[in-house]
Amino acid sequence: MQQRMPGPVAVIGATGNQGGQVAAALLRAGMPVRAVTRFPDSAASAALRRAGAEVAEADMAHVTALEQAFAGAAGVFSVQNFWELHRDGEVELGLNVLEAARRSGAPHLVYSSGIGCTEATPVRAMDGKAQLEAALKTAGLPYTILRPALFMDDVLGASLPFRPWISRRMAHHRKVVGVLFLAVLRSAFHRRRPIPLVAMEDVGRTALWAFSHPEASAGQAWDLVGSRLTASEVLRDWQAATGRRPWPLPIGPLLRAVHPEMAELVAWLARHDAPAAAAPPIPLATFSEWLARLSPAPSG
Ligand SMILES: NC(=O)c1ccc[n+]([C@@H]2O[C@H](COP(=O)([O-])OP(=O)(O)OC[C@H]3O[C@@H](n4cnc5c(N)ncnc54)[C@H](OP(=O)(O)O)[C@@H]3O)[C@@H](O)[C@H]2O)c1
């Protein structure tokens, strides 16, 4: 392990999916965590405190509040939720994190982007991340970019890619969201087209590696891909592991009508290969390994 600054890593989104995995990985490794949240009194913030994290209140809309939350930090993890913020909000809040990290003198920023978000695209869910990657590269701050592929965890409905009021309602119906995700893979991707997938936990493991090895990880951008499987292979492995038979829902036209931003993203991913980027320096879980860890096996 290389020399890293003392002080906690300030984790944006620690109460959410990716930031939650980053906070958990850092805490497991004995590294101090400062969880940054808008809601320090929430159940998720209380759970983070119990796990050993410090909790700091800040809204990404306010640079000064972020700067205070980052004071004395050994690093900052940055993620924004496009589905809540849309493109302009994602860029605005991502730039705020970058500016606050710069002003606070944080020595390392790890940004979670998305696979293929290396350059401008007509896809709103990708374009803001490409803009943030470009800004990061010229900010004069040591950085590492993680580009996660589709999350394996989405087969369980882990991400809720909806407006906040819909997400709140869907939070109790993750199984349904997982079924819809599998239906989207089946109906949108060509039978023989490999789909890049990664376990959400590996965002945490890779960020931990980056923060623990600041010299080796500075200036690096890694595609996070644990498996590349066709939709049929995903469905086959899912059925073998869980005994659940995915529904053959013809969801394509419905998706275009009810969720155009998601339809746009899926259509792009189904047709364009992400430009090849470097793999991270640690092995990532394959889909079979991830499925084997589902314990107890989801019922249904
Ligand atoms: N699903 C996939 O397959 C996939 C793959 C690659 C990339 N992505 C990208 O992943 C992103 C979503 O990440 P996620 O799933 O980790 O999101 P998430 O679980 O919804 O978490 C969002 C986090 O952001 C925090 N947050 C939201 N607004 C904030 C604000 N104004 N100030 C401070 N904190 C704020 C929330 O904390 P509080 O509510 O506690 O403040 C929450 O912890 C999207 O941009 C998506 O494009 C998804």
Q: What CATH number did the domain enclosing 209 receive?
A: 3.40.50.720
Residue 215 in domain: yes
Q: Tell me which residue has its CA closest to atom 5 in ligand 1.
A: 150
Residue 157 in domain: yes
> What separation in Å is there between the alpha carbon of 243 and the centre of ligand 1?
31
Tell me the two tokens of residue 296: 């107890």
CA distance 33 to 77: 10
> Taking the CB of residue 38, how many other CB atoms lie within 10 A of it?
14
CA 43 to the chain's CA centroid: 21
Residue 197 in domain: yes
Residue 297 in domain: no
**Amino acid identity for residue 57 in this structure:** E
What number does the ligand 1 atom closest to the CA of 150 have? 3
Q: Would you state the pLDDT for residue 295?
A: 67
> What separation in Å is there between the alpha carbon of 13 and the centre of ligand 1?
6
Phi and psi of 288, rounded to 5°? Answer: -65, -45
Q: Would you state the pLDDT for residue 250?
A: 78
Does residue 11 contact residue 33 with C-beta atoms inside 8 Å?
A: yes
Low-confidence ranges of the chain (pLDDT < 50): 1, 300
Residue 300 in domain: no
CA distance 275 to 120: 12
**DSSP codes joined into one string, the chain:** -----SSPEEEETTTSHHHHHHHHHHHHTT--EEEEES-TTSHHHHHHHHTT-EEEE--TT-HHHHHHHTTT-SEEEE---HHHHHHHHHHHHHHHHHHHHHHHT-S-EEEE--TTTTS--S-HHHHHHHHHHHHHHTSSS-EEEEEE-EEGGGGGT----S-HHHHHHHGGGHHHHHHHHHHHHHHHS-TT--EEEE-THHHHHHHHHHHH-HHHHTTEEEEE-SEEE-HHHHHHHHHHHH---------HHHHHHH-HHHHHHHHHHHH-PPPP-BPPSS----HHHHHHT-SSPPP-
**What is the model's pTM?**
0.96
What number does the ligand 1 atom closest to the CA of 18 have? 16
Structurally, the chain folds into a number of domains equal to 1
Structural domain boundaries, residue 260: 9-292
Burial class (CB in 10 A: 0-12, 13-18, 19+), 271: exposed
Residue 249 in domain: yes
> What separation in Å is there between the alpha carbon of 84 and the centre of ligand 1?
8
> What separation in Å is there between the alpha carbon of 16 and the centre of ligand 1?
6
| Contact residues of ligand 1, CB 6 A cut-off | 12-13, 15-19, 37-39, 59-61, 79-83, 93, 114, 125, 148, 150-151, 154, 159
Residue 2 in domain: no
Q: Tell me which residue has its CA closest to atom 12 in ligand 1.
A: 81
Q: Would you state the pLDDT for residue 135?
A: 98
Q: Would you state the pLDDT for residue 6?
A: 80
Residue 57 in domain: yes
> What separation in Å is there between the alpha carbon of 238 and the centre of ligand 1?
26
